[in-house]
Structure formats: C-alpha cells, structure tokens
Amino acid sequence: MSDRKTINVVNEDTFEAILTRLIDDREFRQAFFEDPETATEKLGIHITPEELATYMDVVQSRIEGGNVSFVEGLVLCSSSGY
Amino acid sequence: MRILLAKCPRAHVSHFEENSESLALGYLGAALREHDHEIELLDASLTGLSLSETADKILQGEYDILGFTLADPTFIESTFKVISTLRDNGTKSHIIMGGHSPTFHYREILQMSPGLDSVAMYEGEGTIVELANHLEQGKDWHGIRGLAYRSNNGAECNAPRPLIRNLDDLSFPVRDTLPFLMEHKKETGVVSMAGGRGCYANCGFCSIKAFCSVPGGPSWRLRSNQDIVEEMEYLVKAYGVKEILFIDDVFVGPGQESIERISELADEIEKRKLKVMLSVSERVDNIDEGLFRRLREVGLRQVLLGAESGDQQILDYLGKGITPEQIRRAVDTLQGLDIDISLAFINFTPITRLEQLIENLRFFTGLKLNVLQGMLNRFQIYEGTPLAQKLNSAGLVKGKFPNLYYVSADRRVDVVYEIVQNSFGTFLSVAYELKKLERLLRIRLFEAEAGETYAEAALIKRERIRYQKMMNKIMKEAEELFLEVVNFVLVSGVRKNGNIESFTDRMMQASANSHKEWMRLIQFFRNLSPVLGFPESSRGGKSTQQRRRGINSVRP
C-alpha cells in the first residue's frame, strides 16, 4: 500500500532552462525567489500556476524534511516515503 | 596507567568544520594500548564540545596522564585554557603536549602554560610510552629522550628520539572516534589514513623537513603496500568504510620507482576487491597520466594539488620547484581523467606585489576550480621552515609566538588582505557549501559506478555539470569582488582612513548578499535533487541498488 503519486510538473527542457537561468542571471535569480510565477513569465516560459505551485510545494516540502524527489522532469511525491 | 589523549576545539569559530579523526591521537593510543596502558580518546574538536564542556568531560574521569595534541597553532589558546581550568579544579595528572608547534616552541609553550608538565617533541609514540612506563614504575622521567620540561632555566630539552625506522612496526591507529564520525558527520566526515610520514620536497613554508631531520631523518618514510592495504581492508570490513582520505603531503612521490610502487598498491587494492573511494594529495610534477588512470580504476576520485602560486617568481620564493605550466598540465590531466581536484595555494606572500595578486587570481580562476578559499590564504610563519628563518634573519618577523606576522614588501597587498579578510567571510562559507555538494556528487557517482547502476550514474553526471556551471559562476563573482578590492587599493593607496572603512563595509554587504543568494540556490538545487539527499542509509544502510529501485519503481 502506498499513497505515492507522480505529478508531471514541467517538461525537462523547461526545467533545465529555469535552472540555467537561475545560475546565469542574477536579476532572474532574485526575482524568482521573490515571485517565481512572475519571474518565469518574464522569461517567456509557459508554466501553469498549478505546475509551478506543485513544483514550489515540492521544493518547500523537501526543505521541511518531506520525502519527495525530482527525477528526470517529474516530481515524485510520497507521504509514506520509499 | 590510565591515560586520556585529547584534542581541544579551536578557540575561534571557523568556517572550517572538523571532518576527520585525529590520526595523531589514534597512533599514540595504539602505541600505549600495545603496552597495556588503559587509554581513552577525547576529540572535542570533532565532536563539537565547547571549551568548558571539554574541561568538564576530562574532570569527570581520573587519569594518570593527560596528553594533548596541537594540530596547528589555532588550537593553542583553547588548549591552554582547558589545561588552566583543569589545574584550577585540582587535576593532578601529568599533562603532556605534542605536535609541530610544541616541538619548535617548547620553551614558549611551557612558559605560557604553567599547568603543563612536559612537551613531547617530534614523533611522540616512543616518548609517551616511555613516560607512561616511568610514571607507572615511579621512576624519574626527566631524562626521557624527546621530552622537554620546565626547569630553573625556563625549559630543558632532552636529545630528540630517533624516528621510527620501519612504519610497518606501528600498530594501526585506534579508531575509537570513528563510530562518532560515521554516525554524526555523514555529509562531511571522511576516514583518514597515512601511507607514510614526512615529505621529500623542499617547500620553504613547510616545517616537515626540520621535524624529521633534527631527530636524524630520513625526511620521507613509507609504509609497505601490504601494510597500507591491510589497514584499508580492516577499515572496510570492521567499520564499513567507503571512503578513505590519505593525509600524506605526497602520496605517490617522484620518479619511476614511485610509479611502480603505487601501481603495485593499485594491483593489491584490486586483488582484494576493495570498493572504497580514495582521496590523496600530490605535487603537480608527480601527476603521471597512466598511473592516475590506474588509480581511478581502483577508486581514486579526488586529488589535492599543492599549487601555491601561478607566478614563477613566487613559486621560486616558496621553494616549490614547479612551474605554472606544470600546474596547468596536472589540472588538465586530472580533469581529463574525471578526477575531482582540490587546489591549495597561497595568494598572499611576503614578496607578492599587487600586480602579481591580479595575475595570480586570473591564473587560478582560469582553472575552473573552486578556489575561493585559496584567494584568502596568506603565508603563515612556522618555526623550523626555511622561509621563517629567512624572514627572521632579515628582521621581518614581528610579534611573539603564537602571533607572529610580517609586513609585505608591497604594503598595498596587506591592505587588500585586510579588506578581503574582513569582508569575504560570509562568501567563504559558500565555497565550503560547494565543497560539500561536490563531495556528495562524487560519493553518489562512485556508488552508482561501483554498483553498475548506469542510469543513476548518468543522472548524477548531469547534476555534476549543473554544479560545475554554478561553481564557475560563483568563482567569477568572487573574482570580480576581489578585483574590486584590488582596484580600490590601486587608486586609494595604503593610507588608513575612513574611505577604507566605508569601502570594507560596502564589500561586506556585497559579500553577504552574494552569500545569501548563492546559499539559497545551492539549497534549492539540493532539495530538488534525487541524488543529493543524505539518508540514514548513506553508510551501510540502504544500498545504491535499493535507492535506484526506489526511483525506478515509480518511474512511469
């Protein structure tokens, strides 16, 4: 029994584009940590608020010690852990 | 005899986190146990005890001898405080101290720490065993070779004890603190070993030659391959160790003979099927591509290179006997073999001119490595070193032990140092965070490759590329900040005034901002990564295979 679920957040290329921009562009980096949705919009990356919210939730969850992982463009969430 | 061997915490908070056991305590402990003495190890530096907690812990026990090791001068103040607290609380034990600084400064050490009874000079195993035996038998210990002690003249020093001729005769160091390391230092802890003692080279800033030559040498001794691999196997089998750091200043050494010796060591590691990740230190002129390819096959994943400077004049001053071109070649060779490089260099030396500082910075940042720590490194005066003697005879050494200092030939360089020292502190912790990240990726990749889980290895390699990009960007930013300081000093000169203070404040703020942003991003990456978590399983629990199954089982 597992309540693990897989959520398609963003495709891999989009994800990589965001990460690359986070490294290279200081302004984007600052804006992203303030307001990720607006920052990615300005970047021209189409990412739904829901996708972004899930994405940020996952990050937040891991920061708080939740057991979730990101694998090849997919976020794997599990409250029971694996 | 009941003996406590201890290492105190540093007096000041440092970005540098203690991440390995004290082999000095381990070897001394082994020698004493071999002679049936009852020993305990207290590595307060590793376990994170405060000064008062360290003293309290010692006061809880009853010991005949208390032995303190001084790994470097940054431990002096704290060790003296602990000894003073112990004496104030009625400790009657014989208190002895050892290490490089006590050896070369026994007179000052005995004077500064009235609670101390003796100093073990040079190699300590034979000396501490003989001291314990003498005290046990109620004999006078003052004539023991290798000891210094307080006298009416201030201090007396006996003849040095000859060095241990055959290192294979030594018992393996006791590993009493290893379980703590493996349990509590999962992210940073590394198990260390020594393949030999001393060094054959003539670096002007290093005291190891004097440390070995005064007792009669030789300056470089090696354990046999058989003995080294025996200890490796013991660590793997008894403790489940998966990573070993060789602390030798040079692991391979010069010439064909060294290549053959280390090739045979690699063969022995392979023969015994030891799956253990290795880190070593080496001179850039000993990086032989064929040998290091072979070493990579048997687990080598990181090399610390002693580069010291990218400027030939400074390299010559430091007595390195290498060229900037050899540094580049060694870095290229190791990068080509996919071996991580940690680069040690001394950015500030007594002869460095401001223009050389700029060139040196460009040289090192051009190597695309994490060199932030080196940017802030300043030449330290250690007694017994050729350069300390040179500076002393020129009357350039100021202050008193342990606070010796010098004034640079180009005063502007000292001003740059003061500003970066005061302002780059927070940025430096980014470099340490990067080192942790690099290490985690190295461990994960090694485990994936050893377990032949190629999908996971590919995933980790992709994360390493991302790490590399981020590290390059951070180094570029550090370089720009550093150059801003240099340019400021170029324009404003060396006069101390309010401009320097306000500029330093501005640099502190810039450094703090950079620190905040990069730490946030590093944390962000780590939290997204499927391979960078450090679960309980990291050492001996869930295997890479199991983790991979965990990932694959939910892959659509």
Q: Which of A64-68, B73-77, B132-136, B338-342 comes out lowest in average pLDDT?
A: A64-68
pLDDT band for position B425 (cuts 50, 70, 90): confident
Q: How confident is the model at residue B11 (pLDDT cuts 50, 70, 90)?
A: confident
Out of B469, B470, B555, whose CB is closest to A71? B555
The predicted model gives B299-309 an average pLDDT of 96
pLDDT at A66: 52
Cβ contact, residue pair B528, A70, below 8 Å: yes
Q: What confidence score (pLDDT) does residue B463 get?
A: 86
Between CA B398 and CA A10 the distance in angstroms is 62
The model's pLDDT over B77-94, given as tens digits with 9 standing for 90+, comes to 999 999 999 999 999 999
Q: In this complex, do A22 and B473 lie within 8 Å of one another by their Cβ atoms?
A: no
Measured between beta carbons, which residues in chain A are less than 8 angstroms from residue B552? none
CB of A71 within 8 Å of any CB in chain B?
A: yes
Mutation test of the interface with chain B: which of A12, A14, A23, choosing the one with the most B Cβ atoms within 10 A?
A: A23
- Partners of A62 on chain B (C-beta within 8 Å) are 527-528
How many whole angstroms separate alpha carbon B425 and alpha carbon B437? 19
- B296, pLDDT greater than 80: yes
CA-based angle B230:B232:B235, to the nearest 5? 110
Q: What's the Cα-to-Cα distance from B190 to each of B3, B16, B179, B436, rounded to whole Å?
A: 26, 14, 12, 12
Q: Identify the CA nearest to B269 among candidates B98, B146, B450.
A: B450
Contacts across the A-B interface (CB distance below 8 Å) = 50
Sorted by sequence, the CB contacts under 8 Å of residue B394 that are 6+ apart come out as none
Q: Would you state the structure tokens that stand for residue A15, as one six-digit string?
A: 């994800």
CB B75 within 8 A of CB B10: yes
Confidence band of B246 (pLDDT split at 50, 70, 90): very high
Q: How far is B440 from chain A (nearest CA, A)?
A: 16
What's the whole-number mean pLDDT along residues B1-30?
87
Residues of A in contact with B556 (CB under 8 A): 6, 74
Q: Which of the residues B522, B524, B536, B549 would you substitute to probe the A interface, choosing the one with the greatest number of A C-beta atoms within 10 Å? A: B524
| Percent of chain B surpassing pLDDT 90 | 78
- In chain A, the N- to C-terminal Cα span, in Å, equals 11
Return the minimum-mean-pLDDT range out of A46-60, B62-76, B416-430, B541-555. B541-555
pLDDT at B189 (0 to 100)? 87
Q: Residue A51 has what pLDDT?
A: 67
Q: How far is B79 from B66, CA to CA, in rounded Å?
A: 12
What mean pLDDT do residues B108-113 have? 95
> What is the pLDDT at residue B73?
85
Residues of B in Cβ contact (< 8 Å) with A78: 554
Is B215 within 8 Å of B163 (Cβ atoms)?
yes
Question: A37 to chain B nearest CA, in Å?
Answer: 16
Name the residue of chain A whose CA is nearest to B530's CA.
A69
Please tell me the distance from the alpha carbon of residue A81 to that of residue B20, in angstroms, as a whole number. 32
Question: Is B545's pLDDT higher than 90?
Answer: no
Query: Could A63 and B527 be called an inter-chain contact, meaning their C-beta atoms sit closer than 8 Å?
Result: yes
User: pLDDT tens for residues B228-245?
Assistant: 999 999 999 999 999 999
pLDDT tens digits for B362-420? 999 999 999 988 999 999 998 889 999 999 999 999 999 988 999 999 999 999 999 99
pLDDT > 70? residue B163: yes
- The residue-averaged pLDDT of B340-351 equals 95
Interchain CB distance below 8 Å, A82 and B553: yes
| Cα B41 from Cα B7, distance rounded (Å) | 8
**B520–A contact, CB cutoff 8 A:** yes
Q: Which residue of A has its CA nearest to B474?
A: A23
Give the residue-averaged pLDDT of B106-120.
Answer: 96
A62: left (phi over 0), alpha (psi -120 to 50) or beta: alpha
Q: Burial level of B187, CB count in 10 A (0-12/13-18/19+)?
A: middle
pLDDT at residue B542, rounded to an integer: 33
Residue contact A29–B517, C-beta within 8 A: yes
- pLDDT over 60 (residue B135): yes
Confidence at residue B462, expressed as pLDDT on a 0 to 100 scale: 84
Q: What pLDDT, on a 0 to 100 scale, did the predictor assign at position A60?
A: 57
Return the minimum-mean-pLDDT range out of B32-36, B129-133, B347-351, B517-521: B517-521
What is the average pLDDT score of chain B? Answer: 91
Q: In Å, how far are B33, B424, B477 from B99, measured between CA atoms?
A: 20, 31, 39
Indicate the DSSP class of residue B486. Answer: H
Contact present, B521 and B469 (Cβ < 8 Å):
no
B551 touching A (Cβ < 8 Å):
yes
For position B396, what pLDDT does the model report? 92
pLDDT value of residue A19: 83
Is residue B19 very low, low, confident or very high in pLDDT (cuts 50, 70, 90)? confident
Chain A CB within 8 Å of residue B535 CB: no
Whether the pLDDT of residue A63 is over 70: the answer is no
B524 touches chain A (CB under 8 A): yes
Distance CA B280, CA B195 (A): 10
User: Sorting pLDDT into bands at 50, 70 and 90, what band is B144?
Assistant: very high
Q: Is the confidence at residue B112, as pLDDT, over 90?
A: yes
